[in-house]
Structure 1
Amino acid sequence: MDEKYRNQGFGTKLLNHLESSAKQLGASMAMVDTFDFQAEDFYTKNNYKVIGEIKDFPKGHRRIYFSKILS
């Protein structure tokens, strides 16, 4: 994402819209994955919980799996 769009809430608005749409379709949980050098903090700030990770994937980093109960 272009830096000029960061920290303006666009990602959170999009995530909230997707979660709302998923709930309307009957989903009760959301699951996502990212890397430690990408969106780890973003998902944590949006109440996603770490449910697993792969260390050294890619080398020197982690792939992180998150979930969130859609209530």
Structure 2
Amino acid sequence: MTPDVVVTDAGQPSDRDVILRELVAYNDAVVGPSGARPLAVLLRDPETAETLGGLWGRTTFDWLYVELLVVPEALRGQGLGGAVLAQAETEARARGCAGIWLDTFDFQARGFYETRGFEVFGSIPGHPRGRERFFLRKTF
């Protein structure tokens, strides 16, 4: 059988699940289980319990990957971003991680991360056009 190659912007969650399952099976066979676990550090409204911002990521292969981190503009300047990141680091250490990695754009928070011990280990100039995307890590 020769499969069709299909390009779509309407892939289904079940399509992603198939791809992920195949990739995880291969990775597990080569290096062992990743130990993947989600991690969220949330900023919540104390009255409504509504999530206002925070951090979303996962620990896998002994590292925490931070996919998303945001403090709403109205709450910035109060140390909340640093507190959220510190809580994530504490949990990453408790899970036995060797460090944290993430990416950010030049118009976002590179300096924020660097003042907290992160270092740039790569970048993509021109992503988006006229800007730059940075990859940072912090090892424990």
Greater C-alpha Rg? 2
Structure 1 ranges of 4+ moved more than 6 A: none
AA partner of residue 36 (structure 1): D
Kindly state the Cα deviation for residue 35 of structure 1 after the two structures are TM-superposed: 0.3
2:106 to 36, 59, 66: 36
Q: Indicate the structure whose relative CO is greater, using CA pairs within 8 Å and at least 6 residues apart.
A: 1
Tell me what 1:12 maps to.
82
**1-structure distance, mates of 2:88, 2:73:** 23
Tell me what 2:7 maps to.
none
List aligned pairs for 1:1-71, cutoff 5 A.
1-70=71-140
RMSD of equivalent CA atoms: 1.0
Question: What 5-or-longer segments of structure 1 have no aligned partner?
Answer: none
Corresponding residue pairs, total:
70
AA partner of residue 52 (structure 1): G
Give the TM-score, by structure 2 length.
0.48
Q: Provide Cα deviations, 1:7-65, integer angstroms capped at 9, x if missing partner.
A: 11000000000011011001011101000001111111111000000000000100000
Kindly state the Cα deviation for residue 4 of structure 1 after the two structures are TM-superposed: 2.8
